[in-house]
Structure 1
Amino acid sequence: MIQNWFEETLYDHWRQSFRVTREITRIKGPMQDIALFETPGFGRVLTLDGVIQVTTGDEFIYHEMLAHVPVYAHGAVRSVCVVGGGDGGMLRELLKHRSVERAVLVEIDAAVVDFCRQHLPSVSDGAFDDPRTAIVIADGIEYMARCREKFDLIVIDSTDPIGPGGVLFTEPFYKDCARCLTPDGIVVNQNGVPFLQGEEITDTWKRRRPHYADVSYYLAAVPTYVGGFMALGWASASTRARTESSETIRARFAAAPVATRYYTPDIHKASFALPPYIREYIGK
């Protein structure tokens, strides 16, 4: 029996493979090559330039942790900006919160949004058409440099620091994000798998420290992003949100619950406990 396999080659020394039961579509966009295929274990898998971005099997873990941790930590998020996130999963989770009045999605590649609307509607689950959503097709770094709006939360839902997503890991971008925060505002982003991408932890730490009162990381275990824990970057204009007590987080969740499959208030607090091998990357 002939079997087709997709092999991701993000690392030059380690590869992971997925058995492909059906290739749904493949297009060469103006900025990136986009492909979608089905697998037995992970459902539909979206790739950009050969690197896996999202799978319908486990995307809920990543999206829930990048959305709900800062929302419940802040306690009064009304305005959010998502940079990247063209699949719509981050919008979906953020808009579960009734407190959110405005959500701006800044995506550099319109082809990704159109593609995901058509082929991955379950990921966005109507979030693109929510009246609170504003979709802006623009380069994230240019948008933030010009932005005069203030946000309670900025979520950087980007690719790894290669290709179009590379500029979203630079100090000028982080500085502009800091300027666009409200006094207790928070910035979160995906920061790679520390065991394999430790330099991302170190670089982000150094680039954010001059511009935020509080810089740290928290963790999630996402099967697709192999190599151990995935690091999620945290930066805030104040030190309050990250240190809120377990009791406070539980009370906020009880008062304004959302449906989740991974996030809980207990996981929220535990996710900020960093193993020594990760703390080494930031000199702690």
Structure 2
Amino acid sequence: MDRISIVLPAKNEAAALKTLLPRLRAAQPDAEIIVVDDGSTDDTREICAAAGVQCQSSPYSMGNGAAIKRGARAATGDILVFMDGDGQHDPADIARLLARLAEGYDMVVGARDWGSQAGVGRGVANTIYNWLATRMTGHVVADLTSGFRAVRASRFREFLHLLPNGFSYPTTSTMAFFRSAYPVAYLPIKAAQRIGKSHIKPLRDGMRFLLIIFKIATLYSPLKLFVPASVVFFLLGCLNYAWTFIHEGRLTNMSTLLWSAAVIVFLIGLVSEQITALTYRRDA
């Protein structure tokens, strides 16, 4: 029987962990539970000790993704379950994730509905991410950024070197699984209101969310992003040339610049495609 390891990244989540850990132990009594303390300044370590839970502590904050990587390395289970330490995820849903995983999947993700999103802005952003990822992969992506997921440890550890130290580890791991043809499933869940204050700041993290859109493409198939962009530049160059030729009877520098941009963007896409292929290459 597969051994289960549950990894919870936590930064100053003592208030939530106080009630979450006993519920988690009751729901999965045989599982290994690892709380990865990302430089907390509260009572996280004491609460873990009182609950008899392993706590991997960092002397300073390294980021959510870094905590996930440290937890994955420390876990001894055949299956890893990742969930937030802020009380949003229901421990009872772990059994549902594991049951779906047993159907032959390598990753099962808890997909939040609109009512479980942390605000309208986050809901709209996640909807855009899901749509773009679905278009890129050709598979329905119900919740690209959900942090509640069960994965086969051997598969997940293949991509530890790709995972960022920040908050976008769910995006990276999901696209890596799709790229490597590892089956992924989504299971509807209800996420509760988090306990405590969120560590995500809209202004500071606005650029991060924008970069996720490009990461979705570059992690799966760069040409699907760069070829349309190249075509747009080429068509703009043709339109500019048609306009100036009709009105001025000449070729302008702007048309040449746009055509040059089309070629450069296309070549960048080709190089990115080769780099992506090398990134996912597995040595025999």
Relative to the length of structure 1, the TM-score reads: 0.32
Of the two structures, which has the highest relative contact order with CA contacts closer than 8 Å and spacing of 6 or more?
Answer: 2
Higher strand proportion (structure 1 or 2): 1
Q: Find the structure with the greater CA-based Rg.
A: 2
Relative to the length of structure 2, the TM-score reads: 0.32
Higher helix proportion (structure 1 or 2): 2
